[in-house]
């Protein structure tokens, strides 16, 4: 195992951090079997699906498309669910806080539970759309005993610090009515002093702990929930409004705890610090106070099957088609698809962004044809609002247009990380943006007639609008917007646009260096590194400096179409590889087995896919429709009708086309009816005017 670990380290150094050229060459010559052993030695965390939260290791309930509805529907407990994306840097950075919160309120599980669902998992794409998840992380509350489908209530706290979220959980529990309050949740409202006096007069077989606190304090409610799974003790809270009552009991400071023992004795407890943890720990340690045998439901955690993973060897000096196409797949089928319909500024942003892609994307002909077809369709669309499903119909080629193709799952090569949650989509998006700015600078004529020509900021501004409007990581988009406001207006030439994006990318790398989202095998260092571009680096008076002239030449060469490598790219002739929705068979998130050699891929014809893969199924029983509504038993018949309609739509009509046809038919019918009645009335008037009675 040690030898395998050394091999893995050598391979990582050759592909990640700067290393001498000779070492990189030696690493690239490693036999595939050794690479396989090295990846296997890295442990299960290195492969499989990207998991920020792990079943059995964290107190977080790990949900997926098959369990989220069953867990939150008609549950005896309330839920707080984090919808996140494993590629989102902010989500990765927030994961320790979420894990700590779940551990901190573990004893509250009978009343409210902490869960997480990864929207980056292909099998979860549809359910995240159904819950209207646009940005990550998104936090939703679900009340207990919710029978009808609901997308939940958004978290409304001023920040996402652990204490703030914990307190909003308490507020959410108190917002339940008596009819839907979790039965295990004890009363959280304060009691009156008279109620405490009656407890003193009537001896109880249990301990009664009374927390005196101010109206703004949460200590009493937190201690009540901390003791929820314990028996032989009852916790109440009283506000400090009745000063005479407090003086009678000897309460001189708040928060304080007054304890009534089962034998009738009572008094203030002496505690080191008036903190929640001190109160809870003391009360849990009392004689005969022990945990109940609660029958909590089994956690709906998905099984984690260890997978054998193989590292895809790649050359850092090359740009890989697979990375760009995988990024397009995720962008078009997942990120944009989170928006059920587009109108106004959103629709204009989509049209401009697709125009830039169609004119400047340097990839393979089938992908370019798809982008060009999509751009023409959007440009000629007469509607002010479109359902995004209509765009998906075209991206998935339901109209069977010959020669159109886009991979239907992610397959990272130059963007693969040492673990699946590292790099991936964000890496491919940066590569795509750099490629677009370089193509605009080297082939400006490509934008002629689009309305974007003669504007050196056009591509950058389009990218800016896309990130602001659609990019899932909200914190990331806010940071990009700050950089754009600061200096994007200073860009006056296409070359300056290329360098502006490069500088900001390095600025982001510098900010994220050492962050939890940083891949340890691919450290965030200034790029290009000296081994990739020695001429880009200089020293002036002993300080490092960039030679921006050489940097510009390097960027134009590195992100040009001539530097694109099709190794590992999906075969356009394979129906299972693209042209439809994501497949359930191969769920690639990072590392996977090598593909066919490049030569074999080009030898096959570019035939369109012939089979429409099935949509991922939601759990049996009540179902979530794509419109976000709950489908009950009768919904199965409706689903069969939809499935039966798919071949008809696949004959050349998308759902939007059918809607337009119906609209045209109705308008034509109304027009004919109006004309019929018009001529009928006119005919009657003519007869009356020209009728002459006989004498």
Question: What number of CA atoms fall less than 13 Å from residue 220's CA on the CB side?
Answer: 27
What does 292-320 look like in DSSP terms, one character per residue?
Answer: ----PPPP-PPP------------TTSEE
Pick left, alpha or beta for residue 400 (phi over 0 → left; psi -120 to 50 → alpha; otherwise beta). left
Confidence (pLDDT) at 667 = 80
pLDDT score, position 296: 59
What does the alpha-carbon distance between residue 367 and residue 433 come to, in Å, rounded to a whole number? 17
DSSP state letters, 94-150: HHHHHHHHHHHTGGGTTTEEEEEEETTSGGGHHHHHHTT--SBSEEEEE-TT--S--
168 in Cβ contact with 160 (< 8 Å): no
- pLDDT under 70: residue ranges of the chain: 1-50, 294-310, 573-660, 684-695
Angle between helices 388-395 and 365-379 (to 10 degrees): 150
Residue 128 annotated as catalytic: no
**Calpha distance 149→155 (Å, rounded):** 18
Q: Does residue 241 come out as left (phi exceeding 0), alpha (psi in the -120 to 50 range) or beta?
A: alpha
Which contiguous run of DSSP H or E holds residue 512? helix 494-512
What DSSP character marks residue 485? Answer: H
Question: Residue 298: its pLDDT value, please?
Answer: 56
Domains in the chain, CATH or no CATH each: 2-42 (no CATH), 61-174 (3.40.30.10), 193-291 (3.40.30.10), 319-603 (1.20.120.310)
pLDDT at 674: 84
Give tens-digit pLDDT for 301-336.
Answer: 455 554 555 688 889 999 999 999 999 999 999 999
Can you tell me the distance from the alpha carbon of 488 to that of 500, in angstroms, rounded to the nearest whole number? 8
CA distances from 452 to 351, 360, 445, 456 (A): 12, 12, 11, 9
**Cis, bond preceding 137 (omega within 30 deg of 0):** yes
Query: Any catalytic annotation for residue 415?
Result: no
Residue 5 contacts residue 41 (beta carbons within 8 Å): yes
Q: Which tens digit of pLDDT belongs to each residue from 129-156? A: 999 999 999 999 999 998 889 999 998 7
Cα separation, 417 vs 619, whole angstroms: 32
| DSSP code of residue 208 | E
- Backbone φ, ψ for residue 237 (5° rounding): -130, 145
Q: Which of 322, 325, 351 is nearest to 412 (CA)?
A: 322
State whether residue 30 is helix, strand or coil: coil
- Give the Cα-Cα-Cα angle 535, 518, 559 (nearest 5 degrees): 40
Catalytic hit among 88, 185, 427, 533: 88
Question: Residue 588 to residues 219, 367, 457, 539, 583: CA-CA distances in angstroms?
Answer: 46, 20, 36, 43, 10
Q: How far is CA 29 from CA 13, 24, 32, 324, 579, in A?
A: 14, 9, 9, 25, 35
Residues composing the chain: 695
Strand partners, 260: 208, 266
**pLDDT tens digits for 504-544?**
999 998 888 888 888 889 988 899 999 999 999 998 988 99
Strands (E), 143-225: 153-154, 207-213
Sort 639 into a burial class: Cβ within 10 Å, 0-12 / 13-18 / 19+: middle
Closest CA to 143 of 134, 135, 153, 133: 153
Edge-first strand order for the sheet with 153-154 is 61-63, 112-118, 78-84, 138-142, 153-154
Closest CA to 122 of 424, 428, 463, 521: 424
Contact present, 107 and 94 (Cβ < 8 Å): no
- Pairing of the two strands 138-142 and 153-154: antiparallel
> Which residue is catalytic, options 91, 415, 427, 536?
91
Q: What is the C-alpha to C-alpha distance for residues 211 and 28, in angstroms, rounded to an integer? A: 66
Q: How far apart are the first and last CA of the chain?
A: 122
What is the DSSP secondary structure assignment for residue 175, as one 8-state letter?
T
The Cα 51–Cα 53 span in angstroms is 5
Q: d(Cα 641, Cα 143) in Å, to the nearest integer? A: 33
Are the C-beta atoms of 47 and 309 separated by less than 8 Å?
Answer: yes
Report d(CA 261, CA 266) in Å as an integer.
Answer: 6
Give the pLDDT confidence of 637-663 residue by residue, as tens digits.
333 333 333 333 334 455 556 666 777
With beta carbons less than 8 A apart as the criterion, state whether 464 and 470 touch. Answer: no
């Amino acid at each position: 195992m040690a030898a395998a670990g050394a091999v893995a380290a050598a391979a990582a150094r050759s592909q990640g951090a700067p290393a001498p050229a000779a070492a990189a060459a030696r690493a690239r010559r490693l036999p595939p079997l050794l690479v396989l052993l090295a990846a296997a030695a890295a442990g299960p965390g290195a492969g499989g699906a990207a998991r920020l939260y792990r079943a059995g290791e964290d107190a977080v309930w790990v949900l997926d498309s098959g369990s989220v509805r069953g867990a939150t529907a008609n549950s005896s407990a309330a839920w707080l669910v984090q919808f996140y994306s494993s590629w989102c840097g902010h989500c990765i950075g927030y994961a320790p806080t979420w894990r700590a919160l779940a551990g901190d309120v573990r004893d509250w599980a009978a009343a409210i539970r902490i869960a997480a669902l990864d929207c980056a998992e292909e099998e979860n794409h549809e359910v995240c759309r159904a819950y209207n998840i646009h940005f990550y992380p998104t936090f939703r509350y679900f009340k207990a005993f919710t029978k009808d489908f609901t997308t939940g209530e958004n978290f409304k706290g001023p920040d996402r610090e652990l204490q703030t979220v914990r307190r909003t959980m308490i507020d959410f529990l108190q917002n339940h009515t008596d009819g839907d309050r979790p039965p295990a949740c004890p009363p959280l409202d304060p009691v009156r002093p008279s109620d405490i006096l009656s407890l003193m007069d009537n001896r109880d077989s249990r301990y009664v702990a009374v927390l005196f606190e101010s109206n703004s304090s949460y200590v009493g409610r937190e201690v009540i929930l901390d003791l929820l799974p314990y028996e032989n003790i009852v916790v109440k809270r009283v506000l400090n409004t009745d000063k005479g009552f407090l003086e009678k009991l000897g309460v001189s400071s708040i928060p304080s705890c007054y304890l009534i023992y089962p034998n009738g004795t009572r008094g203030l407890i002496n505690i080191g610090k008036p903190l929640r943890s001190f109160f809870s720990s003391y009360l849990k340690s009392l004689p005969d106070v022990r945990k109940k045998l609660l029958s909590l439901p089994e956690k709906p955690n998905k099984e984690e099957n260890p997978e054998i993973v193989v590292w895809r060897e790649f050359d850092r000096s090359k740009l890989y088609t697979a990375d760009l196409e995988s990024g397009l797949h995720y962008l078009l089928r997942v990120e944009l698809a989170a928006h059920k319909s587009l109108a106004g500024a959103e629709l204009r942003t989509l049209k401009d962004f697709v125009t830039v892609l169609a004119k400047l994307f340097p990839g393979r002909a089938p992908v370019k044809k798809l982008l060009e077809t999509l751009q023409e369709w959007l440009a000629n669309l007469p509607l002010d609002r479109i359902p995004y499903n209509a765009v998906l119909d075209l991206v998935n080629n339901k109209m069977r247009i010959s020669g159109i193709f886009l991979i239907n799952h992610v397959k990272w090569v130059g963007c693969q990380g040492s673990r699946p949650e590292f790099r991936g989509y964000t890496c491919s998006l940066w590569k795509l943006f750099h490629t677009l700015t370089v193509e605009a600078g080297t082939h400006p004529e490509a934008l002629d007639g689009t309305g974007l020509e003669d504007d050196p900021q056009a591509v950058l501004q389009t990218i800016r609008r896309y990130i602001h409007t659609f990019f899932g990581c909200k914190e990331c988009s806010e940071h990009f917007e700050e950089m754009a406001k600061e200096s994007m207006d200073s860009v006056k030439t296409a070359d300056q646009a290329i360098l502006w994006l490069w500088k900001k990318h390095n600025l982001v790398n510098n900010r994220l260096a050492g962050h939890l989202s940083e891949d340890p095998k691919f450290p965030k260092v200034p790029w290009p590194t000296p081994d990739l571009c020695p001429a880009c680096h200089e020293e002036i008076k002993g300080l490092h400096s960039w030679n921006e002239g050489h940097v510009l030449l390097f960027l134009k060469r590195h992100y040009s179409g001539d530097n694109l490598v099709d190794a590992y790219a999906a075969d356009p002739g394979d129906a299972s590889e693209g042209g439809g929705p994501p497949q359930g068979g191969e769920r690639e998130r990072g590392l996977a087995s090598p593909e066919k050699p490049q030569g074999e891929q080009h030898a096959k014809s570019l035939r369109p896919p012939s089979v429409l893969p099935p949509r991922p199924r939601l759990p049996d029983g009540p179902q979530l429709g794509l419109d976000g509504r709950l489908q009950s038993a009768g919904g199965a018949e409706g689903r069969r009708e939809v499935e039966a309609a798919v071949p008809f739509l696949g004959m050349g009509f998308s759902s939007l086309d059918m809607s337009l046809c119906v609209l045209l038919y109705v308008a034509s019918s109304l027009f004919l009816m109006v004309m019929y009645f018009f001529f009928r009335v006119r005919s009657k008037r003519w007869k009356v005017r020209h009728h002459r009675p006989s004498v």
